[in-house]
Structures are given as C-alpha cells and as structure tokens.
Amino acid sequence: MSWQLSALNTGLRLLAKPRLGRTPCPEAAARDLDRHAPLLMRQPAHLLHLQRPGGLHWISAGACAPRQVILYLHGGGYISGNPRTHQGVMGRLSKLSGVEVCAPDYPLAQNLPFPAPFEAASAAWGRLRGLGYAPPQVVLAGDSAGGGLALALLSVLCIRGEAPAGAVVFSPWTDLAMTGESLARNAAADPFLPVGRISELVEIVAGDLPRRDPRLSPLYADFPGCPPVRLCWAGSEILADDGARMAARLRSAGARVEVETHPLAPHAWPVFDGWLPEARATLRRAARFVQDVLCETSR
C-alpha cells in the first residue's frame, strides 16, 4: 500500500465517512459531491469536455481512435454525481485507452425515481446506435452505482442480441436487496462508506420497485451471450460481495471475466486518479482491457 493510499484512507475515515453518515438529504449529498469533486477527482491535462444535444457528454484527453467509444455511467449512489464531477476518471480512461468517452447525464433518484436512470442509460445506447456506432465498437463502463447501471444495461443488450464489445466496472453496486455478507463483515473496515445509511439510500433509489428488479440489481439479471467483463472491487469495502457474486454470476453465464481486487483500497478507488498510484495502475489495466476487447471485435 502506497503512503498516498494510507493517507487517503485516513482522511476518508476521519472526514468523508462521518460526513456521509450525517448528510441530511440527497440534495445535500449532490451539492457536497459537486463542491468536492474538483479537488478529489483530479482531471488529466488537456481534458476536452463537450456537451452535445440529447444530454450526452463527450470526454477525451488526447488523440482517440475513430468509431470507437466507451459509454460510461458515473457513480454517486444514484443521488449525486454527473459527468462533470467524474470527468477526471473518464478523461484518464480515455487518455490511457485512446478511446473517447460518452457519458449521459442521467436523472438522480430525488428528481426522477427508478427506473428513470436505467431508461436514460438505455436511451444513451440508442443515441450511440443512431450516430452509427455498432455494438462491437462500444465498451460499457462505470463506477459504484454507475457500475451497476452499466451491468444492468449489459444484461438487456445481451438479451436483445446486441451485446457491446465488453464492460469494465469499478466497485459496482449490484444488489439493492442488500444480501451481501460484506455489508456486515466490512462495516468497520470500509474507510469510506457508512453501512448505516445503505437501507435509507435503497428506499430513496428503489421506491416501489422490487429490490431484485434486474434493472436495479443486475446480480439477478440474465446475461446470455455475454462479452468479456472486467470487475474491480476492494476486499475491505462493504460492497465487496456485490463484486464477487457478480463475477460468479457472469461466469455461470459463460462470460470471460477478469477480476482485480485490492485488499485495502477505498470504494471506487480509480476515481482518485492523480492522488493514488493504485488508481493509475488500475486504470492502465482497464484501458488495456478496453483496447483488447475492441481489437477482438474488430477482427
């Protein structure tokens, strides 16, 4: 573990985790992330962020291959975040992979209840198809809630026979039924997420939907003909079992699954690129995965 990771974990444990534990409402959580993202989620040099009609944001940080794209769904527990708060990790992934990132500004749960975020992700896929991108030219990606959303979209695309080239997700939230043992096992070990707020968050996000609805909890989804998937999670986070059981689910569907775990990194650690060498290393491996699956589907 680098000294930077040790320092970040200490800061998160002393400052961020208690603050998340007492955040009064979703609106406050969204304002907090908007305020702190520029400091915590550093962006690479020469970042280009363009917002185009239809609610799509296009993000890059250098030369990109033509006719290839990463469709990225941002994290934030479905109550915070947007393409601008997460433009740092998107820009770095674009720079390392040489592939432009497209990110929809999907609605937050306090503004439009689920399944509105899933419908927005599906609409973003439809807009990419309308722009001429074929499924083998697209890689799905996301972190935290956005990672779960990417996997939920992947399931629907697999069922439709329209699977992308692959998917890469960081610390995905895949089970809003909250059946993972790591919620209790890692409650104290997780330096970032306060487990005591998860039930409340699920109520806000899910509303009247069944908690095992596959659009909400892709752990219970089907993945026929699934393309390669890369899953990353930390062994100490409360959502560790969401990642581990998702990997098993995908493998049972016949998918080729790459797994990267870190014993002590915080939830969704790649978003801290620019501060953590561990974040850069994970993003480099994710970028190679993106390049590999796009190359495979182009043959």
Catalytic residues: 144
Residues near 18 by beta carbon (within 8 Å), at least 6 away in sequence: 194
Residue 271 phi/psi, 5-degree rounding, is -65, -15
Q: Provide Rg for the chain, Cα atoms.
A: 17
Residues near 245 by beta carbon (within 8 Å), at least 6 away in sequence: 174, 175, 180, 219
d(CA 256, CA 88): 28
Q: Are 172 and 144 in contact (CB under 8 A)?
A: yes
d(CA 155, CA 229): 12
Cβ–Cβ contacts within 10 Å for residue 18, how many? 12
Number of residues in the chain: 299
- Which residues share a beta bridge with 102? 58, 71
Concatenated DSSP letters for 192-230?
A: S--GGGHHHHHHHHHTTS-TT-TTT-GGG---TT---EE
Where would I find the H helices in 12-144?
17-22, 26-40, 87-97, 116-130
Of 236, 209, 247, nearest in space to 116 by CA: 209
Tokens of 67: 């006719």
